A and B are shown apart, each in its own frame.
Chain A
Amino acid sequence: MISMTNIVKRFDNKTVLTDVSFRVDRREIFGLLGPSGSGKTTIINILTHQLIPEGGHYDIGATSKETGLMLEEDGLYKRLTTTENLNLFAGIYGVDKSKVSEALHSVGLGNDQKTPVAKLSKGMRQRLALARAILHAPKVLFLDEPTGALDPATARGIHKLILNLRDKGATIFLTTHNMEEAVGLCDNVALLHQGKIVEYGSPNAICEKHNSFKTIPDLGAVFMKMTGVDAQ
């Protein structure tokens, strides 16, 4: 469904993406991993038609109205309430207003429907941005660091939500720094380094190839156990 073939992108004279190619099938969760500055956001910007590459071609198999987007800069209207923010997009997408409340509940903001965005914490704003991205049940969902500012409990809730969206037929493209998240969520991942894809495949296959299996301490589970906070 999503494909990139030999994409090249330059800013001034600096090449930031070199021959980037990958394919994401329908109903797949695909993770793009890489250090800061490796080109992850540039790839999302190209796929969402915000940047034009110098070479190669790409396709996302969905129109702008069938695409959901959550970026690092949330673009929320600070003076408006969470509901008013989503009402705007419900109107644009032609989605019934009842879906707004549903979307807010799904990200754990059901009790903040009348709260102005300016009064939300960073994590709550991130969840609201996710609610906006999924409001119209998009075919393709782009998530740039979807759990970056969230506590473990909320992050797990968001993971469940992402899996649920995939089960309903959405194709999900996400970037993350969190390797546990990539292993737990993604069907396939690509490792991006200095604008080049250096590894591509399922997390298990990649780890097997590099003989890199180990037991990772699950601090998130301890946090949940000690605080008693349910991950939805």
Chain B
Amino acid sequence: MSAIKAIFTKQMADLPKNMSVLLLFIMWPLMAFVIGNLMGYVEIQAGMFASMLIASGPMVSIANNVAEDNEYKGLRFLVMAGVKPWQYLVGMAGAFILVSVLSLASLFWIGGVTGDVLLRASIVGLLGLIASSILGGAVGIFAKNVQQAAAISTPLMMILGFAPMFAAANETLARIAEFLFPMQVMVVILNPYADFTRALIVIAGNAVVLLAFFAIAYKKKGLRG
């Protein structure tokens, strides 16, 4: 427990100093607020940007940090100090999930999400953040360095983050996007009559598939620093 707490605390101390990662958690609420107030439909903007936050925030930040710890050997010293790989990942993911939750809460506030919708959106949002974290862990382990992690996570972020937006303009894309967790999060936020059970099943299914990716990356590359 002390190792998880120490890594969580270190990550929280590092985040304000890592501007490129910090921006991931600030820009979506900021964009929802600005664009929503300029163009109107603030609740739609908030839902859309919430799905983008969930797709990108934990995934990119965890991928970046794991790759950085691997490249600069910080992870080696943690492992040598007796930190288990799962403790390292839980401590790190915990920090980024917490920051994502705060960012998501501000999006819900901006979009005026309340009542039953808020409860359902919070549940699918949290599940989505976990799925995104698993994907980030897999990318971070797989990447040789920070540059490679960015090269993998950026297109993934674009696909997952923008799929719900483009799905509105293309029927084929909409059918595909339905099976992606960011789309389900957006649907639950924006539609009070959305099929909540179906959303949960899709997101849980996504998490299982991503967990398999994670297991493959971990088996192939390990997490030893």
Give A contacts to B, CB under 8 Å. 48, 50, 63-65, 67, 69, 71, 73-80, 84, 87-94, 116, 132
B72 proximity list for chain A (CB < 8 A): 73, 75, 78
The answer for the CA separation of A94 and B6 in the assembled complex, in Å, is 9
The answer for the CA separation of A79 and B14 in the assembled complex, in Å, is 7
Q: Is the CB of A80 within 8 A of B77?
A: no
Tell me the chain B residues, 102-137 only, with Cβ under 8 Å from chain A.
Answer: none
Give B contacts to A, CB under 8 Å. 2-3, 5-7, 9-10, 13-14, 17-18, 72-78, 80-83, 224-225
The answer for the CA separation of A89 and B100 in the assembled complex, in Å, is 26
Q: Is the CB of A77 within 8 A of B10?
A: yes
* A64-B81, A64-B82, A80-B13 known; A75+B2 contact, CB < 8 A: no
The answer for the CA separation of A184 and B75 in the assembled complex, in Å, is 34
Beyond A64-B81, A84-B13, A91-B3, list 5 extra A-B contacts (CB 8 Å). A73-B76, A75-B73, A89-B81, A92-B81, A92-B83
B77 proximity list for chain A (CB < 8 A): 69, 75, 89, 132
Q: Which residue of B lies closest to A63 (CB)?
A: B82
Q: Is the CB of A80 within 8 A of B80?
A: no
Residue with the highest number of chain A CB atoms closer than 10 Å, among B5, B6, B77: B77
Q: Is the CB of A88 within 8 A of B10?
A: yes
A63 proximity list for chain B (CB < 8 A): 82
Closest 8 pairs between A and B when the two form their complex, measured CB to CB? A91-B6, A75-B73, A79-B17, A64-B82, A75-B77, A88-B10, A73-B73, A75-B74
Q: Which residue of A lies closest to B9 (CB)?
A: A91
Number of A-B contacts (CB under 8 A): 70
B73 proximity list for chain A (CB < 8 A): 71, 73-75
B14 proximity list for chain A (CB < 8 A): 77, 79-80
Q: Is the CB of A64 within 8 A of B80?
A: yes
Residue pairs across A and B with Cβ atoms less than 8 A apart, 22 shown, are: A50-B76, A50-B80, A50-B224, A64-B80, A71-B76, A73-B72, A73-B76, A75-B76, A75-B225, A79-B14, A80-B17, A87-B6, A88-B10, A89-B6, A90-B6, A91-B9, A92-B7, A92-B81, A92-B82, A93-B81, A94-B2, A132-B77
Q: Is the CB of A88 within 8 A of B7?
A: yes
B10 proximity list for chain A (CB < 8 A): 77, 80, 84, 87-88, 91
Nearest-Cβ distance from residue A43 to partner chain B, whole angstroms: 15
B5 proximity list for chain A (CB < 8 A): 91
